[in-house]
Structure 1
Amino acid sequence: MSLTLVDSVIHQVRERLAARSLVPGERLPSIRALSAHLGVSKSTVVEAYERLAAEGVIAARRGSGFYVCGHLPPLSLAEIGPALDRSIDPLWISRQALEAAEDSLKPGCGWLPQSWLPEDELRRALRQLAREPRASLLEYGRPYGHQGLREQLSRRLAEHGVQAGVQQIVLTDGGTHAIDLVCRFLLEPGDEVLVDDPGYFNFQALLRAHRAVAIGVPYTPNGPDVEALAGILQRHRPRLYITNSAFHNPTGAQLSPLVAHRLLKLAEAHDLLIVEDDIFADFEHEQAPRLAAFDGLARVIQVGSFSKTLSASLRCGYIATRADWCEQLVDLKLATSFGNSPFNAELLHQLLLKGGYRRHLDSLRARLAEAMGETLTRLRRLGLQPWLEPRGGVFVWARLPGGLEAATVSRAALAEGMVLAPGNVFSLGQTAPDFLRFNVAQCQSPKVFEILARSMSA
């Protein structure tokens, strides 16, 4: 049902309250100013303000205008930004994938099946760690995090050309915690932040939680569209750009050296900081360029974790950046979470020390390559066209045939108990209505394609 003009004005005021751009005691725009800004009559604004006043949301002060009352309602991410169809609401999609039964079909989720992960090795490491007399079972961790694991991460980063000393690495409780800390450190409400379009949907949700303004950068098979990026940087003054380099989510693309070079030149010219999420690094057969390697961690901050390759329950990630920033990030980490799990860090350290992790990765890459080939073949048989043929990783970004809408197909699939990921979940500009993201590791059952075929013809 469409909103009346009065309802529309009320909705916009409530959005500003939810986003904290209007706070208790603050004066609302005058009736004349809001009327001109929204292109509605002054009587429409008067009625909207009076209805909000009747609800106790705002109050009139004679001769002064209208002001926000009392305390703000609790922060609601769903109320910040435009209302979305639940089929393309990123948070709703995440809930569907996380709440689905263990044996549900989830080709739209972003993680590997449990059977693909080294559960037996994890259990052995847990038993061994529990017997260690010095295991961190009872204490808080050190401010920077486990020293041995940070040393190991420093060596692993060097393999990708990223030179980061131990004092340039801060451990976190996973990749999302790492990006959240960086956002807390660098952003103020209202700051503009660039994200890929299409790009990982949780970046958008996280930025909403920080009350930042997300701006989409068109993505190509070789990385961000640098011509479009140059134009955006001329029109805006973004503080950050958050992106992937290896096996971009959702497209599966890899950054080319030329695009990486041009991107860093633009970042330097416009004083742009870059957060490089390298969570898919261990899926690579051949190493893609790393912005953090080219830049030397001057204006690039790299984050990562092991949730995709080892265990989603083993919450341990990292931030690699300038040493002086690490000091301040550690203070912020202590203020907001008092550290990260020392037990998880010790367990991860033990797992990485052994050769079993590398053997697991070799097996995993081979298994993913086979799954990628099978999934591409089956999708093409149904008429879906891959945007590109990924050179590895877990994702295929594919276009539906005949003008089909991904949200409609996803609703039909969900009715049969299968979770898909429609394209506009990943698109800030809502430019991917006929795309779906497929996780090839979650597409091994023929039933996935049977349900997909029925959903496409529903």
Structure 2
Amino acid sequence: MQWAEQRIQQQVFRPGMRMPSVRELAQERGVSRFTVVAAYERLVARGHLLARRGAGFFVREATPPAGTRAKSAPARSKPQQAINMGWMVRNMTSGIPAHLSPGSGYLPPDMSGGDLLKMGLRTLANHSTSLQLAQGASAQGYAPLRTQIQRTLAEREIQAHPAQILTTTGAAQAIDLIFRMLLRPGDTVLVGEPGWCNPLLWLQGVEVVGVPYTPQGLDVQALTALVEKHKPKLMFLNPVLHNPTGTLLSAATAYQILRLAEAHNILVIEDDIYSDFLPQGMAVTRLASLDQLRRVVYVNSYSKMLAPNIRVGYLAGPAELIDTLTTHKLLTALTTPEINERIVYKALTEGSYRKHCQRVHAALDSLREPAFKRMQDLGLQAFCQPQAGFLGWFDTGVDTNHLAALGLDAGYLLRPGALFSLRQTPSTWMGINIATSHDPGMLAWLAKTLEQLRQRSEKP
């Protein structure tokens, strides 16, 4: 195949030319006809050849690489993009390197669990007879993984039967399933503000009301008043290492939240996707552990700690609700890819997942104080200093929408505070990932740009 591919690239075989017949090339190269056919088929798959029944194989017209502009197309100025959740998610997946992405929502590749996933994939490949890829996967998810999740929940003092657990394509699908199944236009939902989930709620046509956060966590007095005023159907909360502030839920606050939920018949969605970033032994209170999945639906994901593209999450809740959500999952997306779930299962059970988490904890602990010090040296004010995780929330004193747009033009991905606001209005706040915010070039650019923006704002 390499011989033919080189000659196509060198234009020995030009577009439209018929390739040597299978018999001719087999005799010339001293290989079997099967080898030639297989090589030609691979070249067809790669877009180099066209197969014409009864006529043979022909060189295909070259196509420009993805992302290149046609020569005849006039150059256009880059349109100004609105900075919203779509802007952030698109740019997080656009290929900007991690060390140039202080606004990234994930660990950098050198800290992620890629090696664990490779180990799980190798184990699966070595036992390929156990894979039934031609058969449909289980509606609720790969049974051994759900049993493993059951054990994890038990360690967090949440008792759940596997029938109460539904796997999803990341936490986003879990949240989307809940919102689409349970909410109707006109319903009211309380969310933490600042917070991340708002677009999924807007799509449902519901009224979204923000509950403010303090450096100590959710403002319970404000929550109580908002519950009394708005009579919400649902609360969506991220109590452990809240995104973007990094705060933790206190036991007293957790009890008050559940008392309000009970008194006003409110379903609580607990988003715990940063749970694995908590060091073992750190005291934390989870709503689901106090409620035992009666009024709380628990959502989690492996994407943050393992790798963003593995997309394996789950939710746990009352058995009747899980059954309803399973049907809805089947109707809207069929099943989740079992091969992904098997890879994660192998990583959890055979790949030293706990040790990986411990290494990440140690690495982040060593980065946290220097990262906060660097931001403070740039004139940023921290909302609080989290005890764990990779999140930091800072007041820059300038419009971070403008800062983020300038950053993207310079090749940097920032996370402006408007993304965490219900109204998506410009803000001076900005989220920082302490694991991806130490590149000298990025820091020099940030210092210079902040100074320029501050000087402009001071001019009359």
Correspondence for 1:365 among 351, 356, 361? 361
1:355 CA displacement? 5.0
Indicate if the aligned counterparts of 2:99 and 2:108 stay in contact, CA closer than 8 A: no
How far apart in 2 are the matches of 1:447 and 1:420?
14
Indicate the SS of the match to 2:300.
Answer: strand
User: What is the aligned partner in structure 2 of residue 450 from structure 1?
Assistant: 444
Residue 384 of structure 2 corresponds to residue 388 of structure 1: yes
How far apart in 1 are the matches of 2:411 and 2:114?
26
The change in CA–CA distance for 1:128 and 1:377 in structure 2 (over 3 A counts) is same
The change in CA–CA distance for 1:129 and 1:427 in structure 2 (over 3 A counts) is same
The change in CA–CA distance for 1:387 and 1:355 in structure 2 (over 3 A counts) is same
How far apart in 1 are the matches of 2:82 and 2:221?
32
User: What is the aligned partner in structure 2 of residue 241 from structure 1?
Assistant: 235
Equivalent runs, 1:65-214 vs 2, <5 Å: 86=81, 88-102=83-97, 105-132=100-127, 133-200=129-196, 203-214=197-208
Indicate if the aligned counterparts of 1:126 and 1:347 stay in contact, CA closer than 8 A: yes
Alignment RMSD (CA, Å): 1.7
1:86 CA displacement? 4.8
Residue 338 of structure 2 corresponds to residue 335 of structure 1: no
Residue 420 of structure 2 corresponds to residue 420 of structure 1: no
Equivalent runs, 1:234-383 vs 2, <5 Å: 234-285=228-279, 286-383=282-379
1:97 CA displacement? 2.2
Indicate if the aligned counterparts of 2:119 and 2:347 stay in contact, CA closer than 8 A: no
Matched to 1:170, the amino acid is L
1:103 CA displacement? 6.0
Identity within the alignment, % = 37
The change in CA–CA distance for 1:220 and 1:88 in structure 2 (over 3 A counts) is farther
How far apart in 1 are the matches of 2:416 and 2:252?
31
Indicate if the aligned counterparts of 2:261 and 2:267 stay in contact, CA closer than 8 A: yes
Matched to 2:85, the amino acid is P
How far apart in 2 are the matches of 1:103 and 1:156?
30
1:223 CA displacement? 2.7
How far apart in 1 are the matches of 2:351 and 2:156?
19
C-alpha distance after superposition, 1:154-190 (max 9, x if no partner): 1101111111111111111110011111112211122
How far apart in 2 are the matches of 1:268 and 1:431?
34
Indicate the SS of the match to 1:301.
Answer: strand
Matched to 2:409, the amino acid is A
The change in CA–CA distance for 1:423 and 1:225 in structure 2 (over 3 A counts) is same
Equivalent residue pairs, number:
370
Indicate the SS of the match to 1:442.
Answer: coil
How far apart in 1 are the matches of 2:145 and 2:154?
14
Q: What TM-score comes out, normalization by structure 1 length?
A: 0.78
How far apart in 2 are the matches of 1:136 and 1:231?
54
Structure 1 residues 299-308 or 233-242, which shifts more?
Answer: 233-242
Matched to 1:288, the amino acid is V
How far apart in 2 are the matches of 1:386 and 1:86?
28
Indicate if the aligned counterparts of 2:99 and 2:436 stay in contact, CA closer than 8 A: no
How far apart in 1 are the matches of 2:285 and 2:143?
27
Aligned structure 1 segments of 4 or more residues deviating by more than 6 angstroms = none
Indicate if the aligned counterparts of 1:371 and 1:444 stay in contact, CA closer than 8 A: no
- Is there any run of 5+ residues in structure 2 with no aligned partner, and where? 1-79, 453-460
Equivalent runs, 1:55-66 vs 2, <5 Å: none
The change in CA–CA distance for 1:305 and 1:103 in structure 2 (over 3 A counts) is closer
Indicate the SS of the match to 1:117.
Answer: coil
The change in CA–CA distance for 1:140 and 1:287 in structure 2 (over 3 A counts) is farther
User: What is the aligned partner in structure 1 of residue 54 from structure 2?
Assistant: none
Equivalent runs, 1:42-61 vs 2, <5 Å: none
Matched to 2:106, the amino acid is W
Structure 1 residues 210-219 or 114-123, which shifts more?
Answer: 114-123
How far apart in 2 are the matches of 1:356 and 1:340?
24
The change in CA–CA distance for 1:289 and 1:431 in structure 2 (over 3 A counts) is farther
User: What is the aligned partner in structure 2 of residue 29 from structure 1?
Assistant: none
How far apart in 2 are the matches of 1:392 and 1:176?
23
How far apart in 1 are the matches of 2:426 and 2:395?
9
Structure 1 residues 319-328 or 439-448, which shifts more?
Answer: 439-448
Indicate the SS of the match to 1:171.
Answer: strand
The change in CA–CA distance for 1:366 and 1:273 in structure 2 (over 3 A counts) is same
Indicate if the aligned counterparts of 1:278 and 1:303 stay in contact, CA closer than 8 A: yes
1:279 CA displacement? 0.5
Matched to 2:165, the amino acid is I
Residue 427 of structure 2 corresponds to residue 433 of structure 1: yes
How far apart in 2 are the matches of 1:391 and 1:134?
42
Matched to 2:375, the amino acid is L
1:282 CA displacement? 0.3
Indicate if the aligned counterparts of 1:179 and 1:303 stay in contact, CA closer than 8 A: yes
1:333 CA displacement? 1.1
The change in CA–CA distance for 1:100 and 1:424 in structure 2 (over 3 A counts) is same
